[in-house]
Amino acid sequence: MSTLLERARACMPGGVSSPVRAFGSVEGEPPFVVRGAGPFVYDDAGREHVDLVGSWGPLILGHAHPAVVEAVARAARDGLTFGATCAAEVELAERILARFPGHDMLRFVSSGTEAVMSAVRLARGATGRERVLKFEGCYHGHSDGLLVQAGSGLMTIGDGARPSSAGVPDAVARLTDVLPLDNEQALRRYFETRGDELAAVLIEPLPANAGLLVQRPAFLALLRELSRAHGALLICDEVISGFRIAPGGATERFGLEPDIVTLGKIVGGGMPVGAYLASADLMRHVAPLGPVYQAGTLSGNPLAMAAGLATLAELERPDAYARLERLGAHLERGLADALAASDVAGSVVRVGSILWLALQPGEAPRTSACIDPAAARVYGRLHPHALARGLWLAPSAYEVAFVSLAHDEAVLDRALAAFAGALAEVRG
Ligand code: PMP
């Protein structure tokens, strides 16, 4: 164990500022990253790794993109934060809203967690209702009311939901109901019973926090139909999918009509940013226009806005999303071929530049309950071998991989060679 790792573990729980970074579910110790450049990260032993984590999603341009670094440096020279609206804030808001028709206004916050938490408050304030519905396997940040998953009787209306973290009061958890994804019957039954009590339904339209659970269009359409019919607001949490699978995220790509969209990650270009977007009619409820209070000392600060603006400008280049698609397809093919040539069962699930290794036989899962726990054990054994060969994968079987515009086919081939080598070790 390195001295730095010991020091980290002595002064921070697990040695980390966010739990999954601790490598708890994979073998081996977490290296320290000292530098990132394009598609690579470099650890403190001087080793170069092909990065498929991308800081968990924001780095769609890769590490330290010159345009982003320059924009942040330029902004920093004029001051780090003013606690007053800056021009870059207006420009970024306009640029984001242009991609989400029907959403007239937004509010910037400093994380995805804050964006979704505030969106729920807005939904409750606007509807005068308290109950919310989420789906098993969807992550919406760590605010109390959303850190909830169903108990074993999750299909049974009235069972309520249990907190999935200590410290979440039952009284709060009881306001959040949880249903399985991909189950139209459970959805219909739920709305018949509870639909009229619902302030909001939250979904990751492309669930990417328990593997990549691609939903059937009919399920998403039914969710829209039922929520509208019962006066519940539909919140599409696009913290991962926004500007990732299309400029207008899953909303654009799947033709959805959410009432509120939440964003994070890419819109901050690697700086801490989140945002929630809605119609002017809804956003009128937000302070200072209305009674739904929500604020932030560093919200909309000029550095974060500059990073977001520079990132979105690069993404507006004509070829950007076609290139992400091409690179994603290249990686998907290579991973699938490597799996087929090994005796590790599995398939690759991909939407654009988001990929997930489903290390289990059969059809790719659409619900978190269909994910075989044995897959996590295989992944946990595979991970250190990939790392030793210079492939930086998320240290959890349930996390997805991200390709950036800084990757190219040759770099991905290096990643694929490392992956094949790691698979051979697992077989051995
Ligand atoms: N929503 C989704 C869909 C997410 O994936 C995440 C984080 N991975 C969040 C919300 C929370 O964002 P943050 O970590 O920035 O608080």
**How confident is the model over 263-291, as pLDDT tens digits?**
999 999 999 999 999 999 999 999 999 99
- Mean pLDDT value across residues 292-306: 98
Bridge partners of 93?
none
Structural domain spans, the chain: 3-64+318-425, 66-315
User: Which listed residue (237, 259, 321, 379) is catalytic?
Assistant: 237
- If one counts every other C-beta atom within 10 angstroms of the C-beta of residue 187, the result is 23
pLDDT of 155 reads: 32
* CA–centroid distance, residue 339 to ligand 1 (Å): 30
pLDDT of 151 over the 50 cut: no
pLDDT band at 388 (very low <50, low <70, confident <90, very high): very high
User: Which listed residue (139, 190, 276, 379) is catalytic?
Assistant: 139
pLDDT of 105 over the 50 cut: yes
Cα gap 129→231, rounded to integer Å: 10
- Mean pLDDT value across residues 126-131: 98
The answer to which of 167-171, 243-247, 403-407, 415-419 has the lowest mean pLDDT is: 167-171
74 vs 161, residue with greater confidence: 74
* CA–centroid distance, residue 217 to ligand 1 (Å): 23
- Mean pLDDT value across residues 244-264: 98
pLDDT of 87 reads: 98
> Which strands make up the sheet holding 105-109, listed edge to edge?
105-109, 274-278, 260-263, 233-237, 198-203, 131-135, 176-179
pLDDT of 164 reads: 77
Does the CB atom of residue 263 touch ligand 1 within 6 A? no
Q: pTM for the complete prediction?
A: 0.96
- Mean pLDDT value across residues 20-27: 94
* CA–centroid distance, residue 112 to ligand 1 (Å): 5
- The domain made up of 66-315 has a fold known as Aspartate Aminotransferase; domain 2 (3.40.640)
**CB burial of residue 258 (10 Å; 0-12, 13-18, 19+):** buried
pLDDT of 159 over the 90 cut: no
3-state secondary structure of 1: coil
CATH class of segment(s) 3-64+318-425: alpha beta
- Mean pLDDT value across residues 48-65: 98
Residue 319 bears catalytic tag: no
Average pLDDT over the chain, rounded to whole? Answer: 95
pLDDT of 156 reads: 34
Residue 237 bears catalytic tag: yes
pLDDT band at 153 (very low <50, low <70, confident <90, very high): very low
Same fold, 3-64+318-425 and 66-315: no
Is residue 134 within 8 A of residue 200, CB to CB? The reply is no
pLDDT of 424 reads: 96
pLDDT of 370 reads: 92
pLDDT of 162 reads: 61
**Identity of the residue numbered 203:** I
Spell out the alpha helix ranges (H) of 184-319.
Answer: 184-194, 217-229, 249-253, 280-283, 302-315
pLDDT of 1 reads: 53
**How confident is the model over 205-239, as pLDDT tens digits?**
999 999 999 999 999 999 999 999 999 999 999 99
Bridge partners of 274?
109
Residue 134 bears catalytic tag: no
Does the CB atom of residue 112 touch ligand 1 within 6 A? yes
The answer to which of 126-140, 150-164, 338-352 has the lowest mean pLDDT is: 150-164
